[in-house]
Amino acid sequence: MNEALHHGIQMLLRYGAMIISDSHKFVFIHNPKVAGMTFRLALMQYETRGNPFFEWQWVGHDKTRIDMAHITLQQLRRFFPNEVDQVARYFKFGFVRNPYTRFYSAISQHLKLGAPHTRVAILSDPDLFYRFANAFALEILNEARVASDFRLVHFRRQSEFFYFGDLQWADCILKLEEIDAIAGTPIADWLGNAAGTVKNRTDAFAETGYDLTALTPAARMVIENYYAPDFERFGYVRL
């Protein structure tokens, strides 16, 4: 990986991470591809622990490599049990997103790990992008592959960031599509103007959004099966 690309990736990771505020007693759970960068920039002023949850790091005795910016609850409890205990009484919150559009957004994000011109070429051709997304779902989107590769963290199930198994860890889980629901809550005060200026859509699809009808029946089935816990727990409707 060349130096410029490495620096760019590290900056993206630095701006995306779980935030712990000891002064305000809250934990912001950064669910990947759900406006986390926008929210994190707004919440960074409350962070009190020196921003430990960012970048790709080797952790644990067995030197497991994980994306600290998007650490799952299972990873948090395994590698940082003290932090889990310390924030047990804090207000823990985060956002979820329609699993279909989040999958497409994760595809756009994953393309950043390759050659820049390859990403530009794919994003500039919607038909090619959707063919790539369908093929990715069929070939890559499965439990074993996603769980074992830290570079696929954006495809993790959203429930993995809010639940320990069947136990909900987060106190408040909000749909990004219904962000106005935070009005009158401390979350609205902490986020300020960021709640109305969400920026997480790929430029190439900013005007039109992602086309859910471009999913093939086979790819859609894979997505719905893999993200079944997200559809069920967060109340999203299957196509």
What is the chain's alpha carbon radius of gyration, rounded to the nearest angstrom? Answer: 17
The answer to whether the CB of 223 falls within 8 A of the CB of 100 is: yes
Predicted local confidence at residue 207, as pLDDT: 61
Alpha helices, DSSP H only, in the chain? 3-14, 36-43, 73-79, 81-86, 99-110, 116-123, 126-140, 143-148, 186-191, 217-226, 228-234
pLDDT at res. 88? 93
Interatomic CA distance for residues 171 and 67, integer angstroms: 23
Q: What is the pLDDT of residue 206?
A: 61
Q: What's the mean pLDDT in 172-197?
A: 91
| Distance of alpha carbon 144 from alpha carbon 169, whole angstroms | 24
Of 92-96, 156-160, 200-204, the poorest mean pLDDT is in 200-204
* Nearest residue to 19 (alpha-carbon basis) of 37, 34, 1: 37
- Tell me, rounded to whole angstroms, the distance of Cα 77 from its chain centroid: 18
Q: Is the pLDDT of residue 191 over 90?
A: yes
- Residues 221, 136: Cα–Cα separation, whole Å: 13
Whether 5 shows a pLDDT value over 80: the answer reads no
Q: Tell me the pTM.
A: 0.86
pLDDT over 70 at 52, yes or no: no
**Tokens, residue 193:** 């103007």
